[in-house]
């Protein structure tokens, strides 16, 4: 996979924290309602990480580290609730420019000083080790790096799953990638993502995970919480269940974990064109007011 080379444009968000816009992916890195808020609310609170951090150890997998905000929010929460917790964190990121720009432009200045130090070390060397923390940032395509994580036998208590949206980055929302990610999730662990796209939820199920809705800060639609067993998950509403019966629920596939985004999109379009499932337009007509955007995209 080619490294992105397009501009990364700074953009303020509503809570005062900064995000970036990626020219390559045509998308912002965070909800424009608040980047720090999203990290804390959508990833740390929904996974109940502060409670999990009361245990002696905590394993976190941050898929798409980006500016490091989700990692920062996690480390901040652990320091608040249980500074003696031993944290093992693995993060995956394709583009080394992103965490470095976050450091150089001081976008991380709102996190506590010890957390900023970790983010600086991770951006510079890919490793931050200190008493209570062993953090590794693995550079490269997450589709390959996840196989390394799996080979380590890593079993995450919490997975932050935060790629660009499925239409813009389909390669990280496929059944095959979720299978590898699910293999790195502890049987009692939780995966959180901002997406409620039917294709994403269907792929999570096909990867063997149970799913439920969760609050996604600054977004109009709920996110998704996924676990090995369904205990404790909120039920999907009728609207969400019916969404999963439409063509929007045909998942992205990438059998070799090496296809281009265009090939993955085309494969899904072909499958949708030949499908007997209900057209998504029928579901939209039943559930969404006219002119409402389709949540399938996010
Ligand atoms: C929405 S942003 C993540 C934001 C991040 N969680 C944060 O808190 O700043 C998506 C990230 O995925 C990265 N990315 C895109 N394709 C990737 C791939 N194939 N493997 C790993 N990372 C990828 C992008 O470089 C970008 O940093």
| Tens-digit pLDDT profile for residues 28-54 | 999 999 999 999 999 999 999 999 999
In a domain, 141, yes or no: yes
Q: Which element (helix H / strand E) includes 122?
A: helix 113-125
How far is it, in rounded angstroms, from Cα 123 to Cα 128?
A: 9
**pLDDT for the residue numbered 170:** 98
Q: Average pLDDT of 130-158?
A: 98
Ligand 1 centroid to 164 CA: how many Å? 6
291 part of a folded domain: yes
Range of the domain at 272: 34-297
Q: Is 101 exposed, middle or buried (0-12, 13-18, 19+ CB in 10 A)?
A: middle
Distance 40 CA to ligand 1 centre (A): 17
190-222 pLDDT, tens per residue? Answer: 999 999 999 999 999 999 999 999 988 777 889
Q: Is the minimum distance from the CB of 38 to ligand 1 under 6 angstroms?
A: no
Nearest CA to ligand 1 atom 16: 94
**Is 278 part of a structural domain of the chain?**
yes
pLDDT above 80: residue 164: yes
Q: Is residue 267 part of a domain?
A: yes
Determine, yes or no, domain membership for 13: no
Q: Is residue 110 part of a domain?
A: yes
Q: Is the pTM of this model over 0.85?
A: yes
For the Cβ of 178 lying below 6 angstroms from any atom of ligand 1, the answer is no
**Quick one: which of 203, 197, 180, 160 has its CA closest to 258?**
180
Write the CATH number for 148.
3.40.50.150
Question: Residue 64: helix, strand or coil by DSSP?
Answer: coil
Q: Count of domains in the chain?
A: 1
Residue 107 lies in a domain: yes
- At CA 40, angle to CA 144 and CA 74, rounded to 5? 55
């Amino acid at each position: 996979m080619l490294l992105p080379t397009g501009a990364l444009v700074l953009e303020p968000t509503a809570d005062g924290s900064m995000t970036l816009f990626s020219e390559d992916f045509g998308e912002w890195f965070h909800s424009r309602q608040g980047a720090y808020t999203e990290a804390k609310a959508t990833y740390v609170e929904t996974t109940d990480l502060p409670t999990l951090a009361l245990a002696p150890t905590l394993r976190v997998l941050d898929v798409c580290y980006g500016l490091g905000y989700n990692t920062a929010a996690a480390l901040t929460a652990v320091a608040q609730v249980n500074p003696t917790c031993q944290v093992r964190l693995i993060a995956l990121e394709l583009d080394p420019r992103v965490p470095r720009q976050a450091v150089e432009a001081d976008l991380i200045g709102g996190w506590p000083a010890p957390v900023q130090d970790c983010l600086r070390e991770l951006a510079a060397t890919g490793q931050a080790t200190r008493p209570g923390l062993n953090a590794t940032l693995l550079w490269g395509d997450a589709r390959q790096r996840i196989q390394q994580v799996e080979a380590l036998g890593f079993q995450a208590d919490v997975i932050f799953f935060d790629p660009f949206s499925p239409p813009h980055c389909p390669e990280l929302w496929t059944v095959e990638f979720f299978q590898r990610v699910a293999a790195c999730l502890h049987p009692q662990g939780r995966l959180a993502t901002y997406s409620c796209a039917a294709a994403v939820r269907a792929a999570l199920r096909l990867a063997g995970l149970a799913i439920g809705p969760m609050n996604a800060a600054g977004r109009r639609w709920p996110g998704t919480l996924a676990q090995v067993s369904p205990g404790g998950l909120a039920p999907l509403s009728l609207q969400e269940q019916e969404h999963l019966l439409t063509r929007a629920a045909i998942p992205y596939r990438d059998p070799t974990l090496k296809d281009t985004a265009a090939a993955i999109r085309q494969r899904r379009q072909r499958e949708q064109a030949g499908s007997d499932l209900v057209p998504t337009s029928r579901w939209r007509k039943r559930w969404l007011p006219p002119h409402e955007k389709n949540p399938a995209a996010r």
